[in-house]
Structure 1
């Protein structure tokens, strides 16, 4: 089987999504490059589990017949690392929007911050961020949010098996989370801030694992393109 046939037959590609790219843009780029390189008119390419533009890390991209396995990959446990910024909130729960409120943080101690993780371990309910791709009445939530419309959100149950604070640098808190499909780390940041009574938003995020697939085995976009050559 030559390489063109391998892509059509179905391959699973592990890519490290660059900052500021949408997952959809990366899929489109990969599809276009495969079609150009191998002179293929049509090929299915899809991804398992969206990453926000401000997140980096592991994106599973499936080609050809492997696209049928997307739901299976998407359902697997995920691991993330990143940072929360304590003492302020944003409407999007991350840096996509400007800070809208600031809070007193003088009551915080490192023990309080570390112990606050405990109330989020296990099965919890979350509200998705208003700036998210979740659909309501056929529209994505971020479309309502950008138009200034308010929407009633439904809580969803997710599961967090590990949540640890790995470093505290002033109001920047480094964390690692292992969670189920559908967990919003932005919502976790917002809820974490509420639990500490100081507000918080997500300031960086990196997906390091999906099931048994690890970021160490992923290609950068440049590396993938070089491999096609």
Structure 2
């Protein structure tokens, strides 16, 4: 994708959409929205058109940032967009753990921070760069026997998790203000940042959980070119109203 093509999806520009043929929409997913919430909102805004709308890569409800939506014939290419490299920025909290590895659940264990220093934290990133192995969080959308793990976890059921292999080309610490640690990470499809943060805490003989996460890039698509959901929905609805008005005059 060229810079010019990317700019077409700028949140300040509304191009001429052809949703039936297929549009790729860059969306800034709001906090606490599920990825399916965004899909549903856009699909409803396109009524009465009956179009396929899907997303290319789930973001957790507590995460924000770039979510790629495809419409119409372009939904056939969702797997291609989903397979692309991702980039995130986020914040982890050292000195504690939660069952979900993030803020969805309460802290269940606490650890002293006295023995930690900046050098130890910077050095610990080395073990998480390159090809690594990780288990998905028990509170995740991964399906086991047709049911998502978070459904089983909320019932208190334990499930044997399968180890997965992922690639992390870049992992850097950008700010340390204990217990908060900010980071930037570039990773392959299927990487669970929550799992990586939890493992990072273990590598420090401590605990860690994710407190904030934003997807800033998916392949060559950038968050800075994404639409805000409210802006795009307002535009689509105004377009629908205008077309209805013009049709009534013809």
Which range, TM-score by smaller chain? Answer: over 0.9
The Cα shift of 1:3 comes to 5.4
Match of 2:95 in 1: 87
The Cα shift of 1:213 comes to 0.0
Q: Kindly indicate whether residue 77 of structure 2 is the aligned counterpart of residue 69 of structure 1.
A: yes
CA distance in 2, matches of 1:14, 1:172: 30
Equivalent position SS for 1:30: helix
Structure 2 unaligned residues grouped into runs of 5+: 1-14, 239-250
Q: Kindly indicate whether residue 153 of structure 2 is the aligned counterpart of residue 145 of structure 1.
A: yes
* Residues 106-185 of structure 1: pairs in structure 2 closer than 5 A: 106-185=114-193
Q: CA RMSD in A?
A: 1.1
Among 186, 193, 212, which residue is 1:204 paired with? 212
Match of 1:219 in 2: 227
Q: Kindly indicate whether residue 29 of structure 2 is the aligned counterpart of residue 22 of structure 1.
A: no
Structure 1 unaligned residues grouped into runs of 5+: none
TM-score (norm 2): 0.87
Count of residues paired in the alignment: 223
Q: Kindly indicate whether residue 22 of structure 2 is the aligned counterpart of residue 10 of structure 1.
A: yes
The Cα shift of 1:138 comes to 1.1
Tell me if the contact between 2:41 and 2:233 (Cα under 8 Å) persists in the aligned partners.
no
CA distance in 2, matches of 1:169, 1:223: 35
CA distance in 2, matches of 1:223, 1:77: 27
Equivalent position SS for 1:142: helix
CA distance in 1, matches of 2:57, 2:80: 11
Among 18, 33, 40, which residue is 2:45 paired with? 33
Equivalent position SS for 1:8: coil
Instruction: Select between 44-53 and 138-147 the one with higher mean Cα deviation.
Output: 138-147
The Cα shift of 1:48 comes to 0.3
TM-score (norm 1): 0.95
The Cα shift of 1:146 comes to 0.5
Deviations along 1:80-125, whole A, 9 cap, x unmatched? 0000000000000000000000011111010100110010000000
Deviations along 1:196-225, whole A, 9 cap, x unmatched? 111000000000000000000001112212
CA distance in 2, matches of 1:161, 1:17: 25
Equivalent position SS for 1:194: helix
Equivalent position SS for 2:20: helix
The Cα shift of 1:70 comes to 0.3
